[in-house]
């Protein structure tokens, strides 16, 4: 394909993209309100879909009713009430923030806050219990490196064949090499 043709196709694509993109302010207020209401009303025949998403004929009729009601001057709340009267409160994607439904809005954030607090307290408690500076995990038992090496040697002699050399866990402070202790 020649370079000039590619440039013209690219320019045409950019112009088409620019023309097809509209700003939110360019959409009429009535259509924006209708779309907002359509996104908040559930399609009665399509579980989990709003009438804005659904391709069901009933959803298309409901979208048309929303637009007609808005043209007649109805408020968003009046349109919501209109559909609640016909289909029940489950037609709203967001439960109302009043009465018993307030629990749906309050409980999840409270659970998240309580879980975060419990996690914080558990981690803080675990960090206090962990022996960071103490090599011994038994409270009150502080053995020197030499005493630990002696202890491990006695264990090896008791359970081993007694002829093996046991590596001393004691590090030589002068050169950092491991020493071997013979039985």
Predicted confidence (pLDDT) per residue in 6-18, tens digit:
888 888 888 887 7
Residues paired with residue 42 on neighbouring β-strands, in sequence order: 50
Distance of CA 174 to the CA centre of its chain: 52
Residue 58 confidence (pLDDT) above 70: yes
Predicted confidence (pLDDT) per residue in 95-148, tens digit:
777 777 788 888 999 999 999 999 999 988 887 775 555 455 566 667 788 888
Give the model's pLDDT for residue 161.
55
Give the model's pLDDT for residue 174.
37
Rounded distance, CA 123 to CA 117, Å? 10
Residue 176 confidence (pLDDT) above 50: no
For residues 81 and 23, which has the higher predicted lDDT (pLDDT)?
A: 81
Distance of CA 16 to the CA centre of its chain: 38
Give long-range contacts, CB 8 A cutoff, 24+ apart: 143-152. Answer: 145/169, 145/170, 145/171, 146/170, 149/181
Confidence of residue 23 (pLDDT cuts 50, 70, 90): low
Backbone phi and psi for residue 180, each to the nearest 5 degrees, phi listed first: -110, 140
Predicted confidence (pLDDT) per residue in 62-94, tens digit:
999 999 999 999 999 999 999 999 988 888 888
Angle at 67 between CA 63 and CA 71, to 5 degrees: 170
Closest CA relative to residue 87, chosen from 42, 53, 49: 42
Residues 6+ apart with CB under 8 A from 148: 169, 170
- For residue 172, the 8-state DSSP code is P
């Amino acid at each position: 394909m020649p370079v000039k043709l590619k440039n013209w196709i690219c320019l045409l694509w950019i112009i088409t993209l620019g023309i097809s993109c509209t700003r939110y302010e360019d959409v009429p207020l009535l259509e924006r309100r209708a779309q907002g209401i359509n996104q908040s009303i559930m399609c009665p025949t399509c579980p989990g879909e709003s009438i804005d998403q659904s391709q069901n004929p009933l959803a298309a009729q409901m979208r048309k009713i929303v637009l007609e009601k808005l043209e007649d001057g109805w408020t968003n709340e009046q349109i919501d009430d209109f559909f609640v009267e016909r289909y029940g409160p489950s037609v709203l994607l967001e439960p109302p923030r009043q009465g018993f439904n307030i629990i749906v809005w309050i409980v999840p954030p409270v659970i998240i806050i309580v879980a975060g607090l419990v996690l914080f307290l558990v981690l803080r408690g675990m960090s206090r219990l962990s022996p960071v500076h103490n090599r011994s995990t038994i409270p009150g038992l502080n053995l020197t490196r030499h005493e630990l090496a002696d202890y491990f040697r006695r264990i090896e002699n008791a359970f081993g064949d007694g002829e093996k050399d046991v590596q001393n866990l004691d590090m030589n402070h002068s050169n950092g090499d491991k020493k071997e202790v013979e039985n």
